[in-house]
Structure 1
């Protein structure tokens, strides 16, 4: 018996090891990183990672390792996370574990029940989609006292939930001392492999390093052989090993074993034969046990293997000892089971069996697990049962196992739940008496699959499954059941932007239900309908619907729906002008949601409350309320969904208060979690607004267009109108006034309640401002223009908008003042300034002060003009509102106002400027620009706040200088 089969010397890979060591050093400095190690099976990826882990541990870094497990077409759900957690629980004290796990303990107990040994796995308000955020929080706490190296091996076998978790961590881990390391077989990543698109995306990320391991050269093979044999090999042996292994590190080890045990010159060069030759040298009992172990996968618990093998303890341990001593099996790290030294060896043994033999072993595993689920980790029993029954082609046994696996996966792995259900649907028609066998019917399985698809983000597939469920149920099915299915279908339609269809589905579902007796389905449908009506701004019947939802939910004791309906009703009352009553009703809904632990409704209530407070101009209260909600979202793993909305509300109030830099940082931080759809659009919209107000019009347009693409099927004015503002202002900044007006007119096609007026008012003002600018420009050029029609149309819209909040009053007065620019009448800017002082919003205040200064210049009141312009300039500079600051500076130069703030000097005349030779003064250049634009002497005088006679003198001087 040979004492060693693995080289005790680490051969080659020095450059790669140095790279990994450098990443460890970065983690020690508080920087996160991600290293991908690829290469063919057996090339030495795991050995390299083990050496790097030793370097990390020597440096005081905490190292956790988890491996993906191959289990049929998909991997075992979140297997590497479970393995890493298991190692953590073994090494940590109860106090440490509590501190590290925090709010993730309950949800993670679904994955590793030993985290909650005395209770059922739970997680109040937990949804599987929140798991990545909870894991992120746990990792950040783990790395709080010392850096963390988290290794995820065999990503080519990773399930969708593991890949989703890893992708999320790669995107969001930025400022934590965490090094992620992943390994994968590059030769198994085919064109449609789930890992392939992720690899492409990660390659473009600056924080990601990718190492590709190649096979050993001859000198490296020689060193490896010498280390294994403990002596220098002759050249013939090295050549033989190199020839058969082709430099693959694992195959070198196997080949050395064959050489050391006998003459290998006549060995078949096939990989399978090379891997099996040492197996065939073992006793019949050991070979049988090895075949049994291979059916379990790369690892198998000792108790499970014993139950399946059905051997006397003495015979079992004798065979196990033979396999371990000959390095065919290894004792796993936990000391509770055995693992193949390499997955390639397991594959060779497994595929060497006859089909019938394999099937019998799968049946043996399935029966053993059914009789004793404690023989393995209980979190994966159902998935293992489904795998073994399917592999044994026992469909009647596989179907209930698949449904059980789906139920187990729903707690933490929705992608795997969806896959189990889809496979159950595939075999359902081939299983006699499937409904009797499973205790459910096809409608329920379709509906559950629809829910699972929706949770994974496959909304279109979810819609199709709900439609199939409705078709299977038929129109003669129970009315309540059909109505509830239609409500779920309506939810998917909303997510797809098909609002009208969603509303029609809900109304049709309600029509199915008899008026009496009231039941749970009434509460669900009325709550959903009122919520949709409010979200879409359809207020014609929403109050009656919401009030009915509240009373029905209370009557049937549907507490979650009752709380949700109260939130809708409160939001509605505020949107039609009764803000204080709305706040009280909203608070009532929040209190009920807190009592029953309805986390989603709690976050929705905080979101709507902060929205309402912002609408009322109580921006700091809005920030405080949204911050409480955001903390709840982070604690429950919902920062990418409701958390994004709450972050958007915080951002909006910060913008209104003039805290632009702080707001921009908050939005960028929220986007690090890469929220999707409307959740991302909320934050992109806010960033676009800051970008355009600070003069970054190209960036603003890019951000707004990105947000618009995310909401391409939506007609929700709460999203579309703010986006339209940013896009229109970006067009205005580049001089495309027609394009800006078109964007605004297209966006203002929705009736606005008080709730939505806050989105409409800024557009009405901006549209009126641009139309006034365009009218004045057309007058100067003496050309026809339809801007007066636009102004009149916007005035009609303004007349229909409510003005019950400080901001809406400010916008109404500002818009009215814009219209006075067209008739030359006495301006109304001072009233607008007063309104914005009350509202406490510095940006519109600065703009209105700028217009006051312009008016006072025209009236030759230089003192008042200077005071207004100076205050406007100071506000604009503090905000970073460069476009507005430039307009104020231009006014100051034209009117020769001396502001307390230094006005930037005109840029020097370029050396190549053709006008430089004519000796024009700065004022003469300003006059020449207006003259070239077609302005008359009187129009030039008005623009520059000088007399027509002075303008005439300037024109004469210019003509003389230009000859």
Structure 2
């Protein structure tokens, strides 16, 4: 099983792990033929594979080391055990409690693999809490911090405030919220933290109900009567009507009622409305007792019922000592009416100077050479998450080498995108349709920026398909357009997403696109290569084979899955053929390289 194919998600490794726990729980206690007890054994690893999909086959063949490592881990696992590789663990850090099993070498040789046993899911509150072990000090967010503190001061005076904090992934929205939480920690106040998840987008009110269960210390192992008693005690302390409210909470929290209460006999829509009202009354009652901070993380993944509840809450909270801080990405833009207490804060990228300051902090005291810092600043594009990840990667190499003469080695470490960023970047590319993905890949070959004219000359797609693909890239925020029509220029918003698009190509397709790009550049600049755009250097850096032999009926492409621990370049692929250097069109890809999280399981 491969999580990450046919489409990548930001949490593929976590999905694989969650599936593993569900399998173990489902099999535990079952009996097979003859009364034998069944037991599940699961191995999970993460990395890259090549998905070789042929027309007559329903599913692709996954080529590479990853499936074999997952199967080996499964063989090492005991009954009802989940073993995972060190690289898979790095992608789910904070989500589970683990037990180290040491480094082992698979049968047949090869490199050693760190092996860990997954014990149980951890009870983290938000995505940020899972990764907040060593925080780099904030840089360039002084104005936003002061704004949030000022709004909290108004909340203490009884004036409600709602803050919608938006920004690209990695800009530090959750970090700002954590800073506010730390600022209020020494004061008497209530705090509720809700986390929206992509896999619960169709579960009504899930973030708020999950926060409610956490506040009441309710888990699946708690007995039904104890759960009901905790709900009753909490609502009684808030002085809300129990006969009306307890049955509503019990209905959505799956708690059986006793003889004191009558189950609500309502239609699903009316039950939803009543539960929304009950939740709003509960939050307002909390705020009436003491100032309350309600945090809702990743609102772009919220279900519709939660959004409706928050819109109702905005309308009613103006005179309550309540502060709601909701984080979201730019694509989420709720059409809520403007109100004096509704504030929209949009985070911007760091400036080069601020980025350099953060590089110094993220290096954890190591003095990196100026040339390396300049490369890190250029590559991070002012996104704090990128700054941290690539700086730590480069700093580790620099610490091992420790000589200024080896700046080149530390710089070469930047060529590989950190595994912790792979899923985030590839998930954005996978949300595109085929025309958008192909435009992104060809544009990545041409360079960080490219003109429409150059792309059209290099592409073997018709103009309508090409424009459709570019429109998808602009709407998805992957590139920005400058100019219009035939004179348009497109720029990748992140250097790393350009590299991810380039890295999704296997060698034959990459060679073909380089050939097409070289012809297009020579066609536009036949006499003076020095007049060509910046993409000339990028395109020419990997010379294509000028062979006149046509390729076979398929071409591999490259993709990532969360299944194998090391993201190799997949240097060899089955059925590789030379790319067409003179033909008018290359065949479409049927094999791609994917980053997967791969659980291997047996009973």
Q: 1 or 2 for the larger relative contact order (CA 8 Å, sep ≥6)?
A: 2
Which structure has the highest helix share of the two? 1
Give the TM-score of the pair, scaled to structure 2: 0.41
The structure with more radius of gyration: 1
